[in-house]
A and B are shown apart, each in its own frame.
Chain A
Amino acid sequence: MVYSEECAIIFRLKGILEFACQLDNPNAGSQSQSTISKSFQGLRSKVSSKHIVFTVCNSPILIWPNTGFRSSVESLTEASACGDILQYIESDDGGSKKTLKKKDKKRSGHTVVNLKLLFEVTDPAGNEAPSLIRVDTQQHCVKMPLHLDCVLSVTTDESLTSVCTGLVETLRKQLADMEEVVQRYRKGSSFLVPQPFHFQLPEPAGLTTVIYPAGVPDSQLQAIREDLHRKFELPSDRPYLRRANAYHFPDAAYKDGYLRNPHIHLNPPNIEDAKLYLVQGVYIYHHYMQDRVDDDGWGCAYRSLQTICSWFQQQGYVETAVPTHTQIQQALVDVGDKEPRFVGSRQWIGSIEVQVVLNQLLGVTSKILFVSQGSELATKGRELANHFQTEGTPVMIGGGVLAHTILGVAWSENSGQIRFLILDPHYTGGEDLQTITDKGWCGWKGPEFWDQNAYYNLCLPQRPKTI
Chain B
Amino acid sequence: MGRSYFVDEAVEKYLGGLLAADPGSCVTGLLAGQSSPQRDFVVLAVQTPQRESEGQLKSSRGSGPLDDIDVEWVTEHARQVSRMLPGGLCILGLFLVTPPELSKDAQNTLKRLIFAMDKCISKGRLWELTEEDVNDRVTLHICSKTKKTVCKTLDVKDPKSSSKPADWKYQTCVSSSWPMLTCSVEVDLQIPLTGSSSDNTDKCMKDCLKRWAKQIEAGNCLISGRQALDDSELISGQKKNLKTTHRQTFPARILVSDEQPELDERSSALVQLCSGSMRVRGVVHCRAYIHNNKPKARHAVQAIKRDIINTVSSRVEMFLEDLLISEGSRKGLCTGQQALPRRVFAPMPFSGLSVCDYMFPDESTADVADRLKEMLDWETPEEDIDISLESNQLFSPELEMTDSHSDDSSKHVSEVQVENPHIHKAPQYYAGVVVAATIALLATATSLLYFSE
Q: Give chain A's interface residues, CB within 8 Å of chain B.
A: 15-20, 22, 26, 38, 41-42, 44-46, 48-51, 53, 55, 60, 62, 66, 72, 116-145, 189-193, 214-215
- Looking at B2-10, B44-52, B233-241, B330-338, the stretch in contact with chain A turns out to be B330-338
User: 15 A-B contacts, Cβ less than 8 Å apart?
Assistant: A48-B407, A49-B401, A60-B229, A72-B227, A118-B255, A123-B253, A126-B411, A127-B390, A129-B283, A129-B341, A129-B342, A131-B280, A139-B277, A141-B271, A193-B268
Q: Is B61 part of the contact surface with A, judged by Cβ < 8 Å?
A: no
Whole-angstrom CA separation of A46 from B312 in the bound complex: 23
Q: Is B243 part of the contact surface with A, judged by Cβ < 8 Å?
A: no
Whole-angstrom CA separation of A136 from B336 in the bound complex: 9
The 9 closest A-B pairs by CB, nearest first: A130-B282, A129-B342, A141-B192, A144-B269, A214-B267, A215-B267, A191-B269, A124-B186, A129-B390
Closest Cβ neighbor of A214 among chain B residues: B267
Contact A191 B268 (CB under 8 A): yes
Instruction: Tell me, rounded to whole Å, the shortest Cβ–Cβ distance linking A164 to chain B.
Output: 13
A60-B229, A144-B270 given; name 10 further pairs at CB < 8 Å.
A20-B190, A50-B408, A62-B222, A122-B252, A123-B253, A125-B186, A127-B389, A131-B282, A143-B269, A145-B258
Closest Cβ neighbor of A148 among chain B residues: B258
Closest Cβ neighbor of A26 among chain B residues: B271
Instruction: Tell me, rounded to whole Å, the shortest Cβ–Cβ distance linking B307 to chain A.
Output: 12
Which of A38, A119, A131 has the most chain B CB atoms closer than 10 A to its own CB?
A131
Whole-angstrom CA separation of A385 from B343 in the bound complex: 78
Whole-angstrom CA separation of A136 from B331 in the bound complex: 11
Contact B276 A136 (CB under 8 A): yes
Q: Is B164 part of the contact surface with A, judged by Cβ < 8 Å?
A: no
Whole-angstrom CA separation of A119 from B187 in the bound complex: 12
Q: Is B298 part of the contact surface with A, judged by Cβ < 8 Å?
A: no
Considering the complex, which residues of chain B in the window 168-184 have a beta carbon less than 8 Å from any beta carbon of chain A?
183-184
Contacts of A42 in B (CB 8 A): 400-401
Contact A55 B268 (CB under 8 A): no
Whole-angstrom CA separation of A131 from B338 in the bound complex: 6
Contact B335 A136 (CB under 8 A): yes
Q: A50-B407, A124-B283 are in contact. Are A131 and B340 (CB under 8 A)?
A: yes
Whole-angstrom CA separation of A117 from B258 in the bound complex: 9
- Contacting residue for B339 out of A129, A142, A143, CB 8 A: A129
- Contacting residue for A130 out of B222, B269, B280, CB 8 A: B280
Q: A129-B392, A141-B192 are in contact. Are A121 and B185 (CB under 8 A)?
A: yes
Contact B281 A133 (CB under 8 A): yes
Instruction: Tell me, rounded to whole Å, the shortest Cβ–Cβ distance linking A429 to chain B.
Output: 36
Q: A62-B227, A121-B254 are in contact. Are A139 and B282 (CB under 8 A)?
A: no
Contact B340 A128 (CB under 8 A): no
Contacts of A50 in B (CB 8 A): 407-408
Whole-angstrom CA separation of A53 from B253 in the bound complex: 11
- Contacting residue for B227 out of A16, A38, A60, A123, CB 8 A: A60
Instruction: Tell me, rounded to whole Å, the shortest Cβ–Cβ distance linking B302 to chain A.
Output: 16
Closest Cβ neighbor of B319 among chain A residues: A132
Count of interface residues, chain B, beta-carbon cutoff 8 Å: 80
Whole-angstrom CA separation of A119 from B185 in the bound complex: 12
Contact A140 B275 (CB under 8 A): no
User: Per-position contact with A for B399-437: 1 when CB-CB < 8 Å, else 0?
Assistant: 011111101100101000000000000000000000000
Q: Is B391 part of the contact surface with A, judged by Cβ < 8 Å?
A: yes
Closest Cβ neighbor of B311 among chain A residues: A130
Instruction: Tell me, rounded to whole Å, the shortest Cβ–Cβ distance linking A205 to chain B.
Output: 28
Contacts of B341 in A (CB 8 A): 129
Q: A130-B283, A140-B273 are in contact. Are A45 and B404 (CB under 8 A)?
A: yes
Instruction: Tell me, rounded to whole Å, the shortest Cβ–Cβ distance linking B407 to chain A.
Output: 4
- Contacting residue for B225 out of A26, A49, A66, A72, CB 8 A: A72
Q: A136-B275, A138-B276 are in contact. Are A45 and B401 (CB under 8 A)?
A: yes
Instruction: Tell me, rounded to whole Å, the shortest Cβ–Cβ distance linking B158 to chain A.
Output: 37
Contact B256 A131 (CB under 8 A): no
Whole-angstrom CA separation of A119 from B402 in the bound complex: 18
Contacts of A19 in B (CB 8 A): 269
Closest Cβ neighbor of A146 among chain B residues: B258
Contacts of B229 in A (CB 8 A): 60
- Contacting residue for A141 out of B222, B254, B266, B277, CB 8 A: B277
- Contacting residue for A132 out of B254, B268, B275, B337, CB 8 A: B337
Contact A141 B272 (CB under 8 A): yes
Considering the complex, which residues of chain B in the window 241-260 have a beta carbon less than 8 Å from any beta carbon of chain A?
252-260
- Contacting residue for B335 out of A119, A134, A138, A144, CB 8 A: A134
Closest Cβ neighbor of A17 among chain B residues: B258
Instruction: Tell me, rounded to whole Å, the shortest Cβ–Cβ distance linking B298 to chain A.
Output: 15
Instruction: Tell me, rounded to whole Å, the shortest Cβ–Cβ distance linking A174 to chain B.
Output: 15
Whole-angstrom CA separation of A51 from B226 in the bound complex: 17
Instruction: Tell me, rounded to whole Å, the shortest Cβ–Cβ distance linking B322 to chain A.
Output: 12
Contacts of A141 in B (CB 8 A): 192, 194, 271-274, 277
Whole-angstrom CA separation of A307 from B264 in the bound complex: 33
Contact B260 A190 (CB under 8 A): no
Instruction: Tell me, rounded to whole Å, the shortest Cβ–Cβ distance linking A346 to chain B.
Output: 40
Q: A16-B258, A62-B222 are in contact. Are A132 and B184 (CB under 8 A)?
A: no
Q: A125-B408, A191-B271 are in contact. Are A134 and B336 (CB under 8 A)?
A: yes
Whole-angstrom CA separation of A120 from B221 in the bound complex: 10
Contacts of B62 in A (CB 8 A): none
Which of A46, A66, A121 has the most chain B CB atoms closer than 10 A to its own CB?
A121
Contact A128 B268 (CB under 8 A): no
User: Per-position contact with A for B197-231: 1 when CB-CB < 8 Å, else 0?
Assistant: 00000000000000000001001101001110100
Considering the complex, which residues of chain B in the window 365-404 have a beta carbon less than 8 Å from any beta carbon of chain A?
389-395, 397, 400-404
Contacts of B185 in A (CB 8 A): 121-122, 124
Contact B184 A122 (CB under 8 A): yes
Q: Is B290 part of the contact surface with A, judged by Cβ < 8 Å?
A: no
Contacts of B252 in A (CB 8 A): 122
